[in-house]
Amino acid sequence: MRSTDLLVRTPFNIEQLIDWIAQAKLYVYVKSDIKKLMDLTIRTVFDLCKDGEAEALDKVAQATGISESKLKSLCERVKGEPSVSRLLELKNAHALSSI
């Protein structure tokens, strides 16, 4: 089944699907630290790895006890992952079409 088939056949809207996938991606990367991040309302890879927010990672590190270097490394890996890039493109394209 292609991803477009899923979009056509599911009762869920595209924003919900993107959110669920982004949540799952975060879990794959941080497994044991997911509760700490969710306590800070960081639910998805997009919440954690926003462009130009190195200062925010410092605050996340202080609040969670996760090392800043680990968080930066994680975000570099996330930004280099093609599936996350495509998901972000889809998210942004859909947000623009909703305006």
Per-residue pLDDT of 76-91, as tens digits, reads 999 889 999 999 888 8
Check the CA dihedral 46-51-54-55 and report its sign.
negative
Q: What are phi and psi of 10, to 5 degrees?
A: -90, 150
Q: Are 64 and 38 in contact (CB under 8 A)?
A: no
State the pLDDT at residue 9: 77
Domain spans of the chain, in order of start = 15-97
Number of Cβ atoms within 10 Å of the Cβ of 93: 11
State the pLDDT at residue 5: 66
Burial category of 27 from C-beta neighbours within 10 Å (exposed 0-12, middle 13-18, buried 19 and up):
middle
